[in-house]
Chain A
Amino acid sequence: MSVVALSTYDFPAKDVRENFPAPLLYIGWEDHLMFCAPFCLPLPPDMPFGALPTAVLAGVYGEHPDFARIDWSTVEWFKSGQPWQPDPAKSLADNGLTHKDAIRFRTPGLTGIGASFN
């Protein structure tokens, strides 16, 4: 389907990779809705995936009382909603992450304030 218009309707997309200093990555923490929505972060593609928890997520989610209790070895990852196993030693790019990918992580046993998913 496409736009019905008086004449040719073809304009550049605003959010292509070239327009950003680094590719965007969307990250959500399952079962923790105190953070109202997943985050959008421009991240260097050569950053090792294993650096995410300390270099990025600690600053983003650190205020949550559950954050310090996360056992990262048991964390379950999802990409586009499907279970996914990233390699922490490889870079974001080598884990197959490209511009505007959406990933989520689930921390078994940790389900927010008073187990309320917040």
Chain B
Amino acid sequence: MDFTFTEDQLAFREAISRFLMTEAPPETLREIWETEDGRSPEMRRKMAEQGLTALSVPEAQGGLGMDDVAWSLLTQELGYYAIADSMADTAYVATGLLTALPESTDLRDELLARIVDGDVRIAVGHPVNPLVADVHLADVVLQAHQDEIHALKREHVSFERNPSIDSSRRLSRVSFQPSDATRLVGAEQGSAIWDQTLNRGALAVAGQSLGLAQRMLDLSVDYAVQRKQFGKAIGSFQAVKHKLADVAGKIEFAKPVLYRAAHALANNEPTAALNVSHAKLACCEAAWVAARHGIQVHGAMGYTWEVDLQMFMKRAWALDSSWGDRAFHTSRVAEAVLAADAPIGPHHSFGATHA
């Protein structure tokens, strides 16, 4: 029993964090998000060069084979630096989906190799998301049709853009003509893969939300130390302190829930769906509380476009209902916990790993 990370896992997180700190400062993100596409090929290329896209591709396909547990750290960094959806979707969610396909599936190894090289963006059209992120720039769209999985070039889908309050989000309604040529696998095989993809997507959002929460807390603490009223830093006032302490508490207690879920997913534990939904709810809640208290602590500045808080706050609001909204995940938890034979109580923190 060891509920901690390896030195390697922590070092990877650290490296990604240092890289994004220089490459993705808020000023740069603002410029990128103001463009029509909202995406920067150059930033994208740098991230691929850093090996970010190759991290979860299996070693057999030339990647590093990092599992969900490592990604529960890495997605927090993607969240902290508000990296656009296509990165998590390509490097983690789609990679997982492709890896789960039978080895003989057309395109599987080709796409995995291109992900390692960093020259492909993949959008994932899961039925749980009414709109698909980043289709407008995707090279390939992995799209559900009932439970079948189809792979489409962007030219073969039609999409209508739906602007979001979060400038980093680029959402589209997708329609396409399914055919034998586009089908990767049929419904029978596809169904389990879509289930697992949903869990990966939700876990990626959970990790990013936690990263966003931490970023908003850090921004708010900095602001509270600098901003003076009544001749003192506002951070010395207890009403302000207690709000920020509550954010810290929410973050602190969402983390291990995220890690527990990542472990369950990586090991195909029977409780994985329950653990993932729990993580999604806990992390998104932390992000919402961080946003609510963050805007309050920033006063009128918090209501402006000018202050960076808004970039992270809006993303937190938006991600809350992506990859399954609260109602969806709460129901999944309720169903599992209230089931007649649910494994609940003090013996069941870690599934049926002991007698």
Do they bind each other?
no
- Enumerate chain A interface residues (CB-CB to B < 8 A): none
